């Protein structure tokens, strides 16, 4: 390693500036980013499944249109994140294979089933709420492409949280059955949402180094606390009870005290033993296999378009034109 390069890297981090793909970076920094960004991208793509389960059963046309837009946003988030990871020298196809053969993870939260329509509200309110708290600081992450991708993602996550809140708000002002359905969903999603922030700081493998590199700006426990402080007043507005008898405001610290999630359950879910792990990965594998022809067609089309462009610039006739696609028709 060249010490001038190492010094330039450290000076960039210390100055709160961004590391860009062309810059030298330590291999461990690169590996950490690939791990985190890929895990994040996989979470967005796998995260389309639990809510996608309700698109065909949304209670009104407006709810269906909103949910479709949200799930499409998640596909877009996955795309920006895979593109950010590719700037680190890995291919999207390689990352997808690492997900499918279990070498890379995705968020624990998406291994829980969506049993009722109220679950779509609870996911928007709690899961996207947790995502915002976790991801807003990533807009200031030290790696430029990741930080820039996160800015747009966070704007869309705010809309996602509002739609979840709105679903629950409507249900809690509905019939007794609708109120009970909303409460049941909150009861089931509360602790898995707290677990999204990862293991407690004392046993978190990566936090210290990731914070030193300014990939993570705050620790897992810090963000978990921030989330609870944000959610408790919102639960009061909604009129739902958070399922934690120990929840109480500590006037000295200015924070809500709460029961932490069951971390044994988190580790079990991460290691493949959650209620829906098998279903999520099986679905993803099928989609990957069934989408092979689309990827092949896109690669063949890009090769033809590149050959045509090359022949036009060199003045030779080149291969025949590929069939026109709509955006090529002037
Ligand atoms: N689930 O040392 P730690 C969304 C793993 S998308 C699974 O604290 P780190 C949405 C961790 O990877 C939400 N695994 O790790 C989408 C590590 O294992 P490895 C996704 C977890 O990285 C669609 C080990 O445990 N958000 O919101 O410093 C619809 C030790 O952990 C989890 C992101 O990906 C978990 N919950 O911190 C709706 C955000 N927690 O890799 C919504 C970006 C920990 O050593 N990621 N692990 O084998 C991060 O901020 C961080 O990676 C984490 C973990 C806070 C998640």
Q: pLDDT (tens digit, 9 = 90+) per residue, 118-160?
A: 999 999 999 999 999 999 999 999 999 999 999 999 999 999 9
| pLDDT in the model for residue 322 | 55
Query: pLDDT by residue (tens digit) across 158-212?
Result: 999 999 999 999 999 999 999 999 999 999 999 999 999 999 999 999 999 999 9
DSSP 18: -
Residue nearest atom 37 of ligand 1, based on CA coordinates: 198
pLDDT band at 234; cut points 50, 70, 90: very high
**pLDDT score recorded for residue 255:** 98
Q: How far apart are CA 255 and CA 263, in angstroms?
A: 22
**Is the distance from the beta carbon of residue 105 to the nearest atom of ligand 1 less than 6 Å?**
yes
Is the shortest distance between the CB of 131 and ligand 1 below 6 Å? yes
37 C-alpha to center of ligand 1: Å?
10
Closest protein CA for atom 10 of ligand 1? 44
Residue 25 buriedness (CB in 10 A; 0-12 / 13-18 / 19+): buried
- Position 328 scores a pLDDT of 38
DSSP string, 53-80: TTGGG-SSHHHHHHHHHHHHHHHHHHHH
The sign of the torsion formed by the CA atoms of 164, 168, 171, 176 equals: positive
Helix, strand, coil: what percent of the chain each, to 5? 70, 0, 30
| 119 Cβ closer than 6 Å to some ligand 1 atom | no
Mean pLDDT of the 276-285 span: 96
Model pTM?
A: 0.92
CA of 129 to the centre of ligand 1 (A): 15
d(CA 218, CA 307): 48
- Nearest by Cα to 279 from 122, 119, 74, 114: 114
Predicted local distance difference test score (pLDDT) of residue 329: 38
What is the Cα–Cα distance from 225 to 238, expressed in whole angstroms? 20
Three-class secondary structure of residue 93 per DSSP: helix
Nearest-atom index, ligand 1, CA of 43: 6
């Amino acid at each position: 390693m060249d010490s001038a390069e190492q010094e330039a890297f450290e000076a960039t981090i210390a100055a709160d500036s961004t590391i860009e793909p062309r810059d030298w970076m330590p291999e461990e920094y690169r590996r950490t980013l690939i791990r985190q960004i890929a895990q994040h991208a996989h979470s967005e793509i796998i995260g389309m499944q639990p809510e996608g389960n309700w698109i065909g059963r949304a209670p009104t046309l407006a709810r269906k249109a909103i949910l479709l837009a949200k799930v499409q946003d998640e596909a877009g988030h996955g795309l920006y994140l895979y593109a950010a990871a590719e700037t680190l020298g890995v291919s999207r196809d390689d990352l997808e294979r690492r997900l499918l053969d279990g070498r890379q993870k995705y968020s624990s939260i998406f291994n829980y089933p969506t049993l009722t329509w109220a679950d779509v509200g609870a996911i928007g309110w709690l899961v996207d709420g947790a995502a915002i708290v976790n991801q807003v600081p990533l807009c200031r992450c030290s790696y430029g492409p990741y930080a820039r991708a996160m800015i747009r993602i966070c704007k869309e996550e705010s809309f996602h949280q509002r739609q979840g809140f709105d679903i629950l708000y409507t249900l809690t002002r509905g019939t007794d059955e609708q109120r009970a359905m909303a409460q049941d969903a909150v009861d089931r999603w509360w602790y898995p949402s707290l677990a999204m922030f990862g293991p407690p700081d004392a046993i978190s493998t990566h936090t210290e180094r990731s914070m030193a590199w300014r990939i993570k700006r705050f620790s897992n426990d810090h963000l978990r606390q921030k989330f609870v402080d944000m959610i408790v007043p919102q639960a009061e507005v909604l009129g739902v009870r958070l399922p934690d008898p120990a929840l109480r405001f500590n006037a000295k610290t200015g924070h809500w005290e709460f029961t932490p999630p069951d971390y044994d359950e988190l580790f079990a879910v991460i290691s493949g033993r959650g209620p829906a792990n098998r279903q999520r990965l099986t679905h993803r594998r099928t989609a990957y296999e069934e989408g092979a022809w689309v990827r092949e067609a896109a690669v063949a089309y890009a090769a033809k378009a590149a050959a045509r462009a090359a022949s036009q610039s060199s003045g030779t006739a080149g291969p025949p034109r590929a069939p026109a696609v709509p955006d090529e028709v002037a």
